[in-house]
Amino acid sequence: MKRPDGHLYAQGYRIARNFEQEQQIQLLKYASNWASSCIRLKNRPLPGLGVLSPDAVHRIAVLSLLVAAFGCKHEPKVEPSPAPKSSVTASAPDVAAAASAAAVTSAAPADSGVLRDSSSGRGPEGAAEKPSGAAPDARRYRWLGADHLKYPAPSDSLEARFPTPPGYERIALPPDSFGAWLRGLPLAAPGTPVLSNSGDQVYPGDDPYVAAVVAIDVGAGDLQQSPDAIIRLHAEWLWSNDKPDAISYKSASKLDMPFSRWAKGQRLMPSGPNVFWVVKNKPREPDYGDFRQYIDAVMLWSNNVSLAMRAKRVEKPAELSAGDFFLQSRGKGHALLVLDVAQKPTGERVALLGQALQSPAQSFHVLRLGHATAWFSIRPPNPLLTPRGGEFSWADLERLEPKAGE
């Protein structure tokens, strides 16, 4: 796949090579001058040494050139040991026990001062660092308490893993908001690969565009794809805040799919290209298992079109906030979730972005720009370029509007 930001890397490589070549040329000039000086010594008497023979002069000149040439070589590149991949699958008992200009706009800020890739959990020498931060709260992220689900063992939170670049501060958010909830998302250990719903590896743990994997299950079916992952996280936030009556989304056929009807025993049934509600069970007090069954049903009948019908466009880029998302109306309709936003006093902003690409359903993960940083510069009206997701226009920016009870 062609890297959408490949020219950035090429430009940086050329700059580095040009600088290096200038150093090499300078060294070779010094060597050449020294060799010329040696040649001028030919047949001239030197105190204590007598007269240098032509052969001796030739040897000295060649030796000086060799020394310069070896001095121009690169220092041996030490490859850091690969980050350990997490093969641990957690369940509830485990958690309880643990408790161009457009392209430039997507790059990390030039003055970010990033000395290491903080998302990888490794320092500049490649030494492993222990993630910091409190253990994720299973009461706030309810899937962590569901013993029937399989997900990577949680390690730390999004906020703990990704400190802001120097000079930036996270934008203040209401503590019960969707954005604040996303800021505390539990992350799997550094080096965890992106997996499909069948358990196959989609991207390795050291993939240059994967900063972290969110410690949440993908599900057994091929359902939790790009726009569906946003629906899943939004619904999980409402469920964790004990607002089940506010959980409602639309099908591609424009049918309202509120969780309240599911709790009354109604179920979604297909009828040709459409879907409708039928009574299947008696009403009862729903638990998390009922909620997850409902979410799977919603994801089955939703897509980027239905998500756009449920959302509202954010007209002013200056209002960008964690919890907003970019939704492409063209092609496959890829969705990109804004996980966090930080800002400088001068107004420059950066953001953490997350996604789960289209089929197969896969781990929701945090993006990064190569191994440099996970923070993307936000500079409207320039479009946002992302690895694998392509270009996002500011006309694509959406927000899920509150429903009753939110």
Q: What is the pLDDT, as a whole number, of residue 134? A: 62
Q: What is the pLDDT, as a whole number, of residue 403? A: 64
Measured distance CA(92)–CA(153) in Å, rounded = 10
The β-bridge partners of 327 are 335
Measured distance CA(168)–CA(384) in Å, rounded = 20
Q: Compute CA distances 403 → 40, 100, 310, 323, 333, whole Å.
A: 89, 40, 10, 15, 24
What phi and psi, each to the nearest 5 degrees, are found at residue 275?
Answer: -140, 150
Decide: 377 and 385 in contact? Cβ < 8 Å: no
Q: Compute CA distances 80 → 77, 201, 305, 405, whole Å.
A: 9, 22, 44, 50
The closest of 104, 85, 94 to 201, measured between CA atoms, is: 85
User: Consecutive 10-residue runs of the chain (406 residues): their mean pLDDT?
Assistant: 36 36 41 44 44 52 44 36 35 42 41 38 37 72 93 96 97 97 98 96 96 96 94 98 96 96 96 94 95 96 94 96 92 90 97 93 95 93 92 95 62
Measured distance CA(82)–CA(335) in Å, rounded = 30
Per-residue tokens: 288:
């998390």
Decide: 322 and 173 in contact? Cβ < 8 Å: yes
Tally Cβ neighbours within 10 Å of residue 302: 22
Answer positive or negative: Cα dihedral of 205, 231, 172, 176.
negative
CA angle at residue 246 from 273 to 260, to 5 degrees?
60
CA angle at residue 188 from 156 to 287, to 5 degrees?
90
End-to-end CA distance of the chain: 41
The closest of 344, 343, 367 to 355, measured between CA atoms, is: 367
Q: Global pTM?
A: 0.70
